[in-house]
Amino acid sequence: MKNFDIFISYRRQGGYDTAKHLNDLLVRDGYRVSFDIDTLRNGDFDVQLLNRIDQCEDFILIVDEKAFERTLDVNFNPQKDWLRNELAYALAKNKNIIPVFLLGVKGFPEGLPSDVSGVVKKNGPEYNRYYFNEFYDVLKERFIKSKPVRFSGKWILAACVLIVMAAILFFMLNSSREPKYNEETSKDASQIIDNNVDIIFYGKADEGLFYNNLYAKVDGYEYKIDIPSDMCMDIVAQEDFDGDGIKDALIENIQACGGNAIGSSFFFVKYTGTGFFTITNEFGNNVNETPKIERWNGKLSVLIIDCNEGYNTERNVELRERFVLQQGRAVRVESSKKNSITTIKEISVQDFHNGKENETISMTYDLDGNGIMDQIDCTYWDRWDALLFNITVNGKQTEYHTGYSRIGITENKTDGFHDLICGDNTIYRWSGEVYEEKEERKSH
């Protein structure tokens, strides 16, 4: 009797997490999978393992960076190289071999022994741990030849009849007994009901400031969500983002684990039942501001405002994007760029990008209209790609120590003095003695 359709081969160090996750998903979707546990790894190469490969049509090979380290080691006993033996047997039996190259692996190494060298001709789906759902869909639709096992309607009907009969028998046996109240049982039942409607997401950190493991407690059970452990994360919000009555999580992927001037991206985690979770595509980019959770068309949305001011050498632009969780994906529903204030005259960081990083660039203008030219002097702050500036008005110089992407003179006036625009948003106005930061121009 055939018990398996798909065989998963992997190294325990380096490939186990991906292999286990694939096994869980494939079994959930109705495939019969051989995911060999330690009992099959003991002693000599087990005949039972070869029998499983014989039964399977598909052979999934998880290739991590060290998958073939033993295979290429001439001093390692090939009889104890289980992955090599599994692969060699699958090749000999002409199984449908599907390689899955994990992060950092571009292909098979050179110099493989002749019994497994044929694997270099095999192709598999492009693996991306951040877009695992897309990878998994392609794996099933284009590479796996086996078909999931579906129960016939006849068997489902028979099972339903048996369940109904068992329920009737149980009721008949217990209906004559007087129910007794048990305080402890009542408390436990109440807790179970609470847990059934409550999902809590939380993180754990092996070290450092950020989470690198994400968990959820559902129905009183703790689940570890399959996310790469080298990712630094924070939980931004826990809300029902798609309106299905089940709480979802908005997670921040902290790029470079908090490095300077490197933005974060975001993704949703959605509980799909029976201990499984969907991780959406990543979206947005943000350096400074926390995403805003707002109502949009009757459902919750995530508004991300990103400005590149001080973080690259391009003209600063503020981008506003709104995302919603829809059918297990993050979908962008709005996108706009903020209009910048126009200036009469300005100095920008671009003026320093042609070998002038160590110079002082100045501009003169009669800021108060008294016939005397005033002066703005700018120097370049290379660490943040920003300007620092001094303003001299009527012979009095004031230093400012906040960096901006540009300093400009606008048409607007306060008490007869032209207002200044710093960066894309910040307005400096004349206070009577000096220019002071007064407000941040609102986004549109």
Which one of 337, 363, 382 terminates a domain? 337
Question: Between 298 and 367, whose confidence is greater?
Answer: 367
Classify residue 134: in a domain, yes or no.
yes
| Spatial distance between the Cα atoms of 119 and 91, rounded to a whole number of angstroms | 7
| Spatial distance between the Cα atoms of 272 and 265, rounded to a whole number of angstroms | 23
CB of 412 closer than 8 Å to CB of 418: yes
pLDDT for residue 46 is more than 90: no
Classify residue 249: in a domain, yes or no.
yes
pLDDT band at 229; cut points 50, 70, 90: confident
Percentage of the chain beyond pLDDT 70 is 79
pLDDT at 226: 85
Report residue 248 as tokens: 């979802």
> SS3 for the chain, per residue?
CCCCCEEEECCHHHHHHHHHHHHHHHHHCCCCEECCCHHHCCCCCCHHHHHHHHHCCEEEEEECCCCCHHHHCCCCCHHHCHHHHHHHHHHHCCCEEEEEECCCCCCCCCCCCCCCHHHHHCCCCCCCHHHHHHHHHHHHHHHCCCCCCCCCHHHHHHHHHHHHHHHHHHHHHHCCCCCCCCHHHHHHHHHHHHHHCCEEEEEECCCCCCECEEEEEECCEEEEECCCCCCCEEEEEEECCCCCCCCEEEEEEEHHHCCCCCCEEEEEEEEEECCEEEECCCEEEECCCCCEEEEECCEEEEEEEEECCCCCCCCCCEEEEEEEEECCEEEEEEEEECCCCCCCEEEEHHHHCCCCCCCCEEEEECCCCCCCCEEEEEEEECCCCEEEEEEEECCEEEEEEEEECEEEEEEEEECCEEEEEECCCEEEEECCCCEEEEEECCCC
Summarize the confidence of residues 119-140 as an average pLDDT: 86
Both 289 and 376 in one domain: the answer is no
Classify residue 276: in a domain, yes or no.
yes
Both 160 and 212 in one domain: the answer is no
Total number of domains in the chain: 4
Strand partners, 397: 392
Both 175 and 129 in one domain: the answer is no
pLDDT at 70: 92
Report residue 165 as tokens: 């009969």
Both 245 and 177 in one domain: the answer is no
pLDDT at 108: 94
pLDDT for residue 389 is more than 70: yes
Summarize the confidence of residues 97-112 as an average pLDDT: 92
Number of Cβ within 10 Å of residue 305's Cβ equals 17
Both 18 and 77 in one domain: the answer is yes
Q: Which is it for the CA torsion 22, 26, 28, 29, positive or negative?
A: positive
Classify residue 1: in a domain, yes or no.
no
Structural domain of residue 177, as residue ranges? 153-194
Both 134 and 164 in one domain: the answer is no
Tokens 């933005």 belong to which residue? 263
pLDDT, mean over the chain: 82
Highest mean pLDDT among 42-46, 108-112, 176-180, 347-351: 108-112
Q: Are strands 58-63 and 6-9 parallel, antiparallel or unpaired?
A: parallel
pLDDT for residue 178 is more than 60: no
Which one of 134, 164, 194 terminates a domain? 194
Both 86 and 177 in one domain: the answer is no
Both 170 and 218 in one domain: the answer is no
pLDDT at 141: 92
Report residue 273 as tokens: 């039942």
pLDDT for residue 371 is more than 70: yes
| Spatial distance between the Cα atoms of 236 and 231, rounded to a whole number of angstroms | 15
Both 324 and 288 in one domain: the answer is yes
Summarize the confidence of residues 68-79 as an average pLDDT: 91
Question: Between 223 and 180, whose confidence is greater?
Answer: 223
pLDDT band at 181; cut points 50, 70, 90: very low
pLDDT at 318: 72
pLDDT at 177: 44
pLDDT at 29: 87
Listed residue (191, 243, 188) closest to 219, CA to CA = 191
pLDDT at 322: 92
Both 227 and 101 in one domain: the answer is no
| pLDDT tens profile 182-224 | 333 323 333 333 334 479 999 998 777 789 899 998 877 788 8
Which one of 287, 310, 337 terminates a domain? 337
| Spatial distance between the Cα atoms of 192 and 49, rounded to a whole number of angstroms | 41
| pLDDT tens profile 80-91 | 888 999 999 999
CATH number reported for the structural domain that contains residue 110 in this entry: 3.40.50
Chain centre to alpha carbon of residue 77:
40
Tokens 């001093």 belong to which residue? 75
Classify residue 148: in a domain, yes or no.
no
Summarize the confidence of residues 155-178 as an average pLDDT: 56
Both 10 and 131 in one domain: the answer is yes
pLDDT for residue 230 is more than 70: yes
pLDDT band at 284; cut points 50, 70, 90: confident
Classify residue 323: in a domain, yes or no.
yes
- Residue 438: phi, psi to the nearest 5? -110, -40
| pLDDT tens profile 317-341 | 678 889 999 988 999 888 887 666 7
pLDDT band at 353; cut points 50, 70, 90: confident
Classify residue 44: in a domain, yes or no.
yes
CB of 240 closer than 8 Å to CB of 248: yes
pLDDT band at 275; cut points 50, 70, 90: confident
Classify residue 174: in a domain, yes or no.
yes
Summarize the confidence of residues 116-133 as an average pLDDT: 86
pLDDT at 260: 52
Q: From residue 413, give the alpha-carbon distance in Å to each of 202, 404, 405.
A: 51, 21, 22
Contacts of 22 (CB under 8 A, 6+ apart): 8, 60, 62, 100, 136, 139
pLDDT at 345: 95
Summarize the confidence of residues 34-54 as an average pLDDT: 66
pLDDT for residue 33 is more than 60: yes
Both 388 and 284 in one domain: the answer is no
pLDDT band at 375; cut points 50, 70, 90: very high
